[in-house]
Structure 1
Amino acid sequence: MQMINSKAGYGWLSIALHWIAALAIVLMLVTGFRADFAGEAGDRAVRSMLMGWHISLGAAFTLVLLARVFASYAQPRPTPFEQPPVLKFLSSATHQILLLAILVQVGSGILAVWSGGRAINVFDVVSIASPFAERNQDAHELAELLHAIGRWTIVGALALHMLGALKHAMIDRDGVLRRMLAPAKA
């Protein structure tokens, strides 16, 4: 069983981390945007409930997201499929931007909660105390700005990533998507 990547394809570790991280990111985007919409509509109770879910999901998935980024750099990269240089660059840049945006979101999300003078409450089971004695407005505003930039960066890069996957699956039919579903046979 191929656990780590090879030049021929991805291993089970990368495949599992990719799809778990994808699920986490979708859940985080949905709860985060819905919380924003509820806040704009003036529904503080729904916003508070959704932000509770958003923060809890973020805390629950933090280690998986960090493992996804670390594993991407710690393992060999499969040989890329042939395509025009501009598309090869766009593919690599999109991947790097997604990984960087994940790091920005994890760091700024944690900082946004803690600098607001609150603990990170994980599904009312675990509470991770803030290192800040009280609200730190400057740090909080910076964290919120970085989190907003990271959110929209993920939305844009994720759209490019999915378009690239669809191109490979429907137009090129070169097996790129298959590589992310199961390791190549030896």
Structure 2
Amino acid sequence: MPLPFLTADRAFEASGETSDDVALPFDDHDQWRRPYRPGPWRVGASALLLLLASFILLATMVIAFAGALPGAGLCLGIAVLVIAAALRLLRVGAWVSKHGLRRVGFFVTTTVAWDRATTVRTVQQPVRWLGLPRTVQGQALVLAWQGGEQLTLLTDHNADFLSRAEAFDRAADTVEAWGDEYRRA
């Protein structure tokens, strides 16, 4: 199964080049792509949810063999919800294509076309630590679009980049390069 989100990091690692040299490493710019790998915190949380789902499915099987089909159906529904949550958690992040920039959240997805975007820049500001209410001083990649609205795309303290400053810088540079390429087109 192809994992397109690995292409961006592999392009940097294999060539040893800077982000300016390999800004848009994908051949097909029509598809929505995440220009960085999901972080260990996000993958670990999804793995734990899938482990929980496997136990729930095991309980579903035991309940079904015991003959309580309504209870087995309820457990199966809960397992499906947990699996869907794990998969959605893996999709959370910033996605780019030549059509625009998309910030996928757990519940809400926001898409901004490149022609509506005014700036994509990295700023120093208080950011949420792992998406929790606690804030710390850090860096954020912010998209400003027409009308003065701003959208925080990435932070160096989210589940993808916590303790991975180099990966955050590379991802921010890549998203900024996509913005520079398609905002002027």
Larger Rg: 2
Fold in common (TM above 0.5)? no
Structure 1 length-normalised TM:
0.29
Greater RCO structure (CA 8 Å; 6+ sep): 1
Structure 2 length-normalised TM:
0.29
Structure in which a larger fraction of residues adopt strand: 2
